[in-house]
Amino acid sequence: MNVTVYLGASFGNDEKFKVAIEELGTFIGKRGDTLIYGGSKSGLMGVLADSVLAAGGPVIGVEPQMFIDQEFQHDGITELIVTSNMSERKAKMIELGDAFIAFPGGTGTLEEITEIMSLISLKLLDAPCILYNLDGYYDGLKELLRTMISCDLSSKERQKGIYFVNNTSEIEELLQ
């Protein structure tokens, strides 16, 4: 299975992010799944890639040329796909993915996972969309989705396939 993970290229301000992403990477690698991610060596992205590789799993990075020019790419991964821009990167990551996980991240992570949510809602993508809700990180988004339903602007049926999980064990249950 190709598991696309969206996350930040910084470390954040809490050690729990690093611990949780190492656990997720080890899980992906030990399963023999392929990690699809943004291709960076920086921050949590680098930790994720390194943990998948250390657990024996392959890693495919998808990175736009502008980040290659800044030398953000992870040179130790299995494969690096270079795109011309961020839109092409997003499309390639979606094309390659069988399951999609958003780890806590910034606005780029949010933009990427909301595109997955939209594709699932429109039934244009049949894959799990998993928000890793570490310590309630995505509680606000979860509440917004509930509000959309209560205002009849979305429905439970349209949001079927979007999951909020608290740990790697819950991700494991969804990916079986």
What's the average model confidence in pLDDT over 53-73? 92
pLDDT digits (tens, 9 = 90+) for 16-25: 999 999 999 9
Point out which residues pair with 82 in neighbouring strands: 63
Residue 168 to residue 105: CA distance in whole angstroms: 17
| Residue 70: pLDDT band with limits 50, 70, 90 | confident
Q: Is the pLDDT of residue 68 over 90?
A: no
Between strands 162-165 and 2-6, the pairing is: unpaired
Residue 36 to residue 5: CA distance in whole angstroms: 6
What's the average model confidence in pLDDT over 73-81? 93
| Residue 49: pLDDT band with limits 50, 70, 90 | very high
**Which pLDDT score, from 0 to 100, does residue 73 have?**
85
| Residue 52: pLDDT band with limits 50, 70, 90 | very high
Q: How is residue 38 written in tokens? A: 């943004």
Other beta carbons within 10 angstroms of residue 166's beta carbon come to 14
pLDDT digits (tens, 9 = 90+) for 142-155: 999 999 999 999 99
What's the average model confidence in pLDDT over 113-142? 97
Q: What angle do CA 56, 49, 125 make, to 5 degrees?
A: 95
pTM > 0.75: yes or no: yes
On whether the CB atoms of residues 2 and 28 are closer than 8 A, the answer is no
